[in-house]
Amino acid sequence: MKKVTLCFVLVFLAGFCFSNDTLIQKSVGGNEYIIGKAENIFIESEVLTIDLYDDYYHVSVDYVFRNDGEQAVLEVGFPEIEYAKNSDAVTPVISNLPEWQKIRNFMTSVNGLSPKVEIEDADIAIKPNSYEKIRHFYKKTVTFPAKQKTNIHVEYDSDYGKDHGQYHVEYLLGSAVCWEKIENLKVIAVLNSEQIFFDTVPAISDNEPADFKIDTENNLRKIILSYTNLKLELNTKLYFIVENENKAIFGNSWDYYFDYKVYPRYMFELLTKEQLRLSRNSIYAFHGYKFKDKKLDERFSIFSFYKDNTEEFSEASFNDKERENLELIKSVEKEKQQK
């Protein structure tokens, strides 16, 4: 029997792109990571599901661990990370956060059974000069039988990291270097609100997905990515941005992108019918079209790029990229109307 002192796998970070002039405090969580190396124990498969809602997201992770060696008994700890940044502070400000900012509704199981979980204080920086520190562990003892597989499940709720209307989600995969390797990873990100959409799709640094697909059947808006034999460094992350309240590609004046970027079709397929309508009309609004529809007029009048100059408006002012985006939007709208 082999016993390792402490394990705490794959740290989950809920985003941290914040304004420089404010004090930001945030508590985020993670999955199991081992201090040291668990020889002969592989993550045969990991399914990471992130359900995205208006104001929070739900994380559910299912692991299949395979022990090719002798039985190992490990203390496995789920880390809770607190993040605080004050631009005026010489050193990072780390403090205990109110309950609403902490990880909520944490649950874990091993082979379908609920283990005893203890909360242990910690003070571990994620990396040098980082504002993020592991402050607590949700500890459990896991037996990995020799030549067998062990199923571990983790789930919890968390708030988004926020920056100018963007919702940031990060998942630090690199801490899995403590296991032999992650052989298969599936990432599923699901939009569960009509007010949010993907600004960027989930991606892992220095790794390309073996398979990428979207699911929009039955009004679903889901991205599914599959990876095999991930290349991991300690700082390898899954990362993506979600937007809220119909901002970003059809919203704020500083991020109107249709004039210099042609979006892939699947980005429009992942929008709702109303978001598509706003996307299409934002191109007209950007070039000074005056809307007769009062709701559209009110919607775009709050943005600096919307000008009341109907007499000067002409579709000839659209550049090639705007025309391509417009045709893609119209094509997807037509397709959705036929369903």
Q: Domain ends where: 216, 244, 272?
A: 244
Of 220, 244, 268, the last residue of a domain is: 244
Instruction: Name the residue with higher pLDDT: 307 or 196.
Output: 196
pLDDT of residue 299: 83
Q: In angstroms, how far is the first alpha carbon of the chain from the final one?
A: 58
Please tell me whether residues 53 and 117 are part of one structural domain.
yes
Residue 227's pLDDT is 97
pLDDT digits (tens, 9 = 90+) for 28-64: 554 455 556 788 999 999 999 999 998 889 999 999 9
Instruction: Please give the model's pTM, rounded to 2 decimal places.
Output: 0.83
Q: Does residue 172 sit in the same domain as residue 225? A: yes
Question: Rounded CA gap, 140 and 79, in Å?
Answer: 12
How many CB atoms lie under 10 A from the CB of residue 142? 18
Whether 130 shows a pLDDT value over 60: the answer reads yes
- Which of left, alpha, beta for 88 (phi over 0: left; psi -120 to 50: alpha)? alpha
Mean residue pLDDT of the chain comes to: 79
pLDDT for the residue 217:
87
Give the pLDDT band (50/70/90) at residue 215: very high
- Would you say 174 and 237 are in contact if contact means Cβ atoms under 8 Å apart? yes
pLDDT band for position 165 (cuts 50, 70, 90): low
Whether residue 121 is found in the same domain as residue 205: yes
Residues 152 and 271 in one domain: no
Tell me, yes or no, whether 233 and 254 share the same domain.
no
Number of Cβ within 10 Å of residue 295's Cβ equals: 8
Give how far the C-alpha of residue 282 lies from the chain's centroid of Cα atoms, to the nearest Å. 26
Residue 26: pLDDT band with limits 50, 70, 90: very low
Domain span at 85:
2-244
As for how many domains the chain has, the answer is: 2
Q: Give the confidence band of 2 by pLDDT, cuts at 50, 70, 90.
A: very low
> What pLDDT does 333 receive?
96
In angstroms, the Cα distances linking 43 to 38, 50, 142, 225, 324 are: 11, 19, 14, 17, 43
The verdict on 63 and 78 lying in the same domain is yes
* Residue 161 and residue 86 in one domain: yes
pLDDT per position as a tens digit, 282-329 = 899 888 888 889 988 888 887 777 765 556 788 999 999 999 999 999
Are 135 and 167 members of one domain?
Answer: yes
- Count of other CB atoms within 10 angstroms of residue 208: 10
Q: Look up residue 181 and give its two tokens.
A: 């390797």
- Whether residues 121 and 216 share a domain: the answer is yes
Both 9 and 111 in a single domain? yes
The percent helix, strand, coil of the chain (3-state, each to 5) is 20, 40, 40
User: Are both 166 and 58 inside the same structural domain?
Assistant: yes
- 3-class DSSP assignment, residue 77: strand
Here the CATH number for the domain that contains residue 221 is 2.60.40.3680
Q: What is the mean pLDDT of the segment spanning 257-273?
A: 91
Q: Is the pLDDT of residue 332 over 90?
A: yes
The helix/strand/coil state of 50 is: strand
Q: Are residues 237 and 138 in the same domain?
A: yes
In the chain, DSSP assigns E strands to: 2-7, 12-13, 24-29, 41-52, 56-67, 72-85, 104-110, 118-125, 132-144, 148-159, 161-163, 166-172, 184-191, 196-198, 203-204, 211-215, 222-228, 237-244
- pLDDT(19) > 70: no
% pLDDT > 90, the chain = 37
What CATH number does residue 299 fall under?
1.20.58.1690
pLDDT at 27 over 70: no
What pLDDT shows up at residue 92?
45
The reported pLDDT for the residue numbered 233 is 78
Min mean pLDDT across 33-37, 119-123, 212-216, 281-285 is at 33-37
Average confidence (pLDDT) over 138-145: 90
230-263 residue pLDDT tens: 998 777 788 898 887 645 444 444 467 899 889 9
Domain boundary among 224, 244, 264: 244
The average pLDDT across 220-239 equals 88
Give pLDDT, residue 42: 94
